[in-house]
Each structure stands twice: as structure tokens, then as C-alpha cells.
Amino acid sequence: MANKPLLPSKVQPNALSDADAVVMARIAAPFGIKGWLKLQTFTEYANSLDHFDSWFVSSANGWQEVEVEDFAVNVKSVVAKLKGIDDRTAAEQIGKRDIAVPRSWLDQPDGDEYYWIDLIGASVVNESGELLGNIETLMETGANDVLVVRSAKNAGNSAGNTEILIPFVSQYLANVDRQNKVVTVRWERHWQESESKDSK
């Protein structure tokens, strides 16, 4: 089944290259009985996906373009209805797949702006060159965005697998190297270790 086409498609698989694909979300689970899908989004605003009439869904043969019939942001979830997926059985057969759009479909961010998806997974180092961890996600607090960094012992953190919250503001942000996915911050490793000890 893995080699079968995912859905009727307007284009051939592999029409979108991995290099040009910007992953915006991931299919998480079926939703209801009419073919709707629950999504895990990787964008700052969940409704960003509603700007596109079609998405590219990952498959064993590459990216496949599918038409979006409906989209909704609920209180607890983000859901979508894709053309050709009309019942729960079909939704279950899709499984967990990435959803992407071509980078050319996105507006070019300003010099001091970044797409969240370009930051997720990036290495985070401080100005001393110490590796703090990797960006797991970002969250919006109202005043500013916050980097959620997952650290590990192999990153030199004696506290082990911990979460570091770093405000994504100029006070703490030294540099963003999008090409190499490295974010440099004005942040000392012992700040988090001290905080972890104080919370015990």
C-alpha cells in the first residue's frame, strides 16, 4: 500500500522537491467519520494553512499535491478535509504524513523576521560557542515569541534532557544563520541549571 498513490492528484509525485518544500504541518489522526483529519501545525498562526487551495502531502513516491476542500481551527484542534478522503477508513489509511507548500508560495520575510518552520530543529549556541540544544518549537506569549529549546547531557548540560525557554527578542538574539540552521543567543548555560535547582 505504501507505493500506491495517496490521492487523485493534479500533478505527478516528486513535482515538489525536498529542497523547496516548507513543511507547515503534519497529519496527526482522523477526526470524526467524514474523512476529516486532525493536524499538528508548525506555523505561528494555525490559520496560515487556510491561505492555500492545495497542499503537498508526503508519500513514499515524493510530494503529492492535493486539494483542500475545507479547513477549520477549533478550540482544541486544527482540522482539514482533503479531496478524495471521504470517510474515517480513508483518513486512517493516510497515517501520519507531512504537509508542505513550495517556498515560492510564501511571502519573503523581512530581514528581521523568520518563518517558525525555518527555526524548528535549529541548533542553539551562546556567544561562547556552547551548544545549548535544539529548537523544539516556538510559542507565542502575547508580548513576544519564545524559543523552546530542548537540551541534553551531550550538549554539556548536567541537568540532562531539559526545556530552556528563551525570549525571541533582540536582547537575547545575537544571530540567526538560516542556511546552516544555527541560532546564536546571549544566554548562559548555567542560567537554566540554576533555575532547575531553584525549582526543586
**What per-residue confidence (pLDDT) applies to 67?**
95
pTM: 0.65
Give the integer Cα–Cα distance in Å for 127 and 77: 38
Strand-pairing partners, residue 165, are 148
- Give the mean pLDDT of 115-122: 85
**What per-residue confidence (pLDDT) applies to 122?**
93
Q: Which of 27-41, 62-76, 97-111, 140-154 has the lowest mean pLDDT?
A: 140-154
**What per-residue confidence (pLDDT) applies to 11?**
43
The candidate with the shortest Cα–Cα distance to 72, out of 34, 23, 104, 22, is 34
- Greater confidence (155 vs 63) lies with 63
pLDDT at 94 over 50: yes
Q: HSE (CB half, 13 Å, CA atoms) of 194?
A: 5
Cα 8 versus chain centre, distance: 26
Domains of the chain and CATH, by start: 21-104 (2.40.30.60), 118-198 (2.30.30.240)
- Give the mean pLDDT of 130-148: 88
Query: How is residue 17 written as a grid cell?
Result: 522537491
**What per-residue confidence (pLDDT) applies to 1?**
31
